[in-house]
Structure 1
Amino acid sequence: MTAAARLTRPVPWPGAPLDFTGVTSKEAPLDDEETRRRLDAAVDAVDAPDVVFALSRHGRRTVRSGGTAPPPPVPRDRLRYEMGSASKTFTGLLLAQLTHTGVLSAGEPAAALLDPARRPGEDPVTLAHLITHTSGLPALPADFFVRALPTWRTNPYARYPAERVVDAFLRHRRRHRPGTRWHYSNFGVAVLGHALTAATATPWDDLITGQVLGPLGLNGATLVPGGPDTDAVGHRRDGTTPVPPLTVGGFQAAGAVRATPYDLLTFLEAHLDPSDRPLTGALRAVRRPVLRRGVGHRHVHTVAWFQHPTERGRMYFHGGATLGQQAFLGFRPDTGTALAAMCTRRFRVRDAFVPTAYALLAEL
């Protein structure tokens, strides 16, 4: 997801009405045996040391796990997994919540929040641009690779701290006007996190926990590595060589979340039915399309999710990968279905993990 593309629809999100609520299906859930069979088949299709597929359908949960490695001392479905870029769905929800409650506007220039003495200038990069990957920023800062090279196979982000992310953004010379092109950017979402901490005068861990993780009851989710009794161990492409836990440096907002399958189902269930929950307005806001791109407007994006059509309605999803783990999150309001999938192997060419998870959610 790093290719640039011209936008075919502008980003009208700041100030837009929160009127997209989706459709709930009246179809009866799959029976328990069929659900387990489908999830077991998905687990078996993924070649990784540890694999978990967690499904919620009309509030009924089924979690299945397996893998090529011997079962760890702690059951696989009780461990925390690295979300990688799927963490951006939490960041998008946080921005929607701060906007909905009037703490800030998504149209605010990021540079002015990070450096109040700076004049915004013409066509500034806004918070909305950063979360929707339309800021014009590259995937990573220009000097990232040089600094990361000594730990490229272990923890490349750890050598790029928060102050360097902010400085790289403030010094960046843009090539395109913000809002005119889409280019997936970890750099941009990381900058967004620092802008939000500056705007609220709250450290990132406290901000995301106090505004999102805590209110939604995600008690097992965290932003820092734990240990062998709490965290799954990632592996390189060979599926046998372990890698150390991810340390994200200044890229917290782009990829720091680690969570259990049950916490992730709770997170997704809140998106399926936002009514009578904490963050109701924000949960509805992040389901609303804000831009379209590509041939035939096929690629639709919300504030936090990719959106694709199915035969019976819209499907929302986001994936993530770290040096040793992968994650897939998705939900479908039309069928009342949510899926969280995780595995402990680095992404490979022709890897079955994402296609398996995507197809399972699309079919259910």
Structure 2
Amino acid sequence: MTTAYRTPWPGSPLRRDDEPAVRHMPRRAGEPEPGHGDDDRGARLEAAVAAADAPDAVFAVSHRGRRMVRTGGTAPPPHRPRDAVRYEIGSATKAFTGLLMADLVERGMLTGGEPAAHLLDPTRPPDPAPVTLAHLITHTAGLPALPPDFYVRALPAWRTNPYARYSGERVVTAFLRGRPRHRPGTRWCYSNFGVAVLGHALAAATETTWQDLVATRLLEPLGLQGTALRPDDVGPDAVGHGRNGAEVPAFDAGGFQAAGAVRATPHDLLTFLEAHLDPSRAPALAPALHAVRTPVLRRGFKHRHVHTIAWFRHPADGGPLYFHGGATLGQQAFLGFRPDTGTAVAAACTRRFRSGDPFVAAAYALLADEQ
């Protein structure tokens, strides 16, 4: 069910990114008190690995520049250390896409108000209520989660690689032929389809392939040498597992690269998050790294759900925390950071949980309880 929202972006922010939280995050029953010191932090990381109960699990924390990583799992140890392989981060890719969008806006290459259809088809007649790039990145374009014909095409490979059967050309065609379910900018509805369209629109606007755009604008400036956008048969990629424990093929995002294609090592993910904590680490991206902290949308009861163009944002004791999760058929990831405590959490595992997810709960608690 979608809900009404307010957004000023492009434009003035709803609240400064350093404004303190207005309420405290409640602690769940049985959770430990916030930890202090490396010994306690290491113990909580080890507990998180055990709680994940996955074939392979990695929980990594950066606290005021000091990193700590714990790995484990129910499967035999792999040939390479678990923290040295790339994990599929699924929808957490949207944090990369949001940062890329912010960078292009901060550089004056885009405003966010461009109609996506015009970028993808310059011959298309103007639409009186167009879907803009800002609508796509904020999930307010009125698009469904997936294209209407996605399920028919994906069904033969539903348990192996459904997205691989839906190309970028089909994503663009489905968008240009369809119509939003709601007037753009009036309702929020999480949409892999919308962010996928955004990726193709950004590539069209810059006359650059998506892979090259991400590589030159994000991966190179951040020094992310352990991050890739597609499976690599000879590379250090983790192997995902289904609910029954069987291995699943490497995820192929097809035409949905901007929504879920990134795979990265835990150390690269920490580097990505540390740049958000201290934008001076990546001067070329510093304006964009500040911009993605700014709230652009509120929704739900009393507008308590707050979003930036890259992150979900929750209040915490000393200031807001930012996070995004993601999953593929056989893997999961969690990314988050807290400027008030100088903490970043990157976690990955090789199993996708369907209900009562202990992995996300453990990762979120590491971030929320840090001091």
TMscore range, shorter length? over 0.9
- Count the aligned residue pairs: 355
C-alpha deviations, 1:15-67, integer Å up to 9, x for none?
4479945379xxxx942211111100111111110000000000000010101
C-alpha deviations, 1:143-177, integer Å up to 9, x for none?
00000000000000001001100000001122211
The within-5 A match list for 1:10-89 is 11-16=7-12, 20-22=16-18, 30-89=36-95
Q: Which residue of 1 aligns with 2:30?
A: none
Change (3 A) 1:23 1:227: farther
- The answer for unaligned runs of 5 or more in structure 1 is none
SS of 2:344's partner is strand
TM-score, structure 1 normalization: 0.94
Deviates more, 1:79-88 or 1:268-277: 268-277
Change (3 A) 1:118 1:315: same
Deviates more, 1:115-124 or 1:243-252: 115-124
Q: Which residue of 1 aligns with 2:26?
A: none
Q: Distance in 1 between matches of 2:181 and 2:40?
A: 52
Choose the corresponding residue for 1:267, options 269, 272, 284.
Answer: 272
C-alpha deviations, 1:220-263, integer Å up to 9, x for none?
1000112365000000012x200000011100100000000000
Q: Percent identity?
A: 68
Choose the corresponding residue for 1:245, options 240, 244, 250.
Answer: 250
CA contact (8 A) 1:20 1:284 kept: no
Q: Distance in 2 between matches of 1:204 and 1:341?
A: 25
Q: Which residue of 1 aligns with 2:196?
A: 190
CA contact (8 A) 1:85 1:319 kept: yes
C-alpha deviations, 1:299-358, integer Å up to 9, x for none?
100010000011221010000000000000000001000000101002221121111111
The within-5 A match list for 1:115-264 is 115-227=121-233, 230-238=236-244, 240-264=245-269
CA contact (8 A) 1:39 1:53 kept: yes
Q: Distance in 2 between matches of 1:311 and 1:357?
A: 18
CA contact (8 A) 1:97 1:279 kept: yes
Q: Which residue of 2 aligns with 1:4?
A: 2
2:312 maps to 1:339: no
Change (3 A) 1:18 1:260: farther
Q: Distance in 2 between matches of 1:38 and 1:330?
A: 16
Change (3 A) 1:352 1:5: same
Q: Distance in 2 between matches of 1:13 and 1:262?
A: 32
Query: Which letter does structure 1 place at the counterpart of 2:186?
Result: T
Q: Distance in 2 between matches of 1:109 and 1:58?
A: 41
Query: Which letter does structure 2 place at the counterpart of 1:66?
Result: G
CA contact (8 A) 1:84 1:326 kept: yes
Q: Distance in 2 between matches of 1:121 and 1:70?
A: 56
SS of 1:170's partner is helix
Query: Which letter does structure 1 place at the counterpart of 2:366?
Result: L
CA contact (8 A) 2:136 2:198 kept: yes
SS of 2:228's partner is coil
Q: Distance in 2 between matches of 1:306 and 1:339?
A: 14
Change (3 A) 1:325 1:167: same
2:323 maps to 1:317: yes
Q: Distance in 2 between matches of 1:60 and 1:224?
A: 30
Query: Which letter does structure 2 place at the counterpart of 1:342?
Result: A
Query: Which letter does structure 2 place at the counterpart of 1:248?
Result: A
Q: Distance in 1 between matches of 2:140 and 2:126?
A: 17
CA contact (8 A) 1:114 1:166 kept: yes
Q: What CA RMSD, in Å, does the superposition of the two structures yield over aligned residues? A: 1.6
SS of 1:263's partner is helix
CA contact (8 A) 2:86 2:263 kept: yes
Choose the corresponding residue for 1:291, options 291, 297, 302.
Answer: 297
Query: Which letter does structure 2 place at the counterpart of 1:116?
Result: P
Query: Which letter does structure 2 place at the counterpart of 1:250?
Result: G
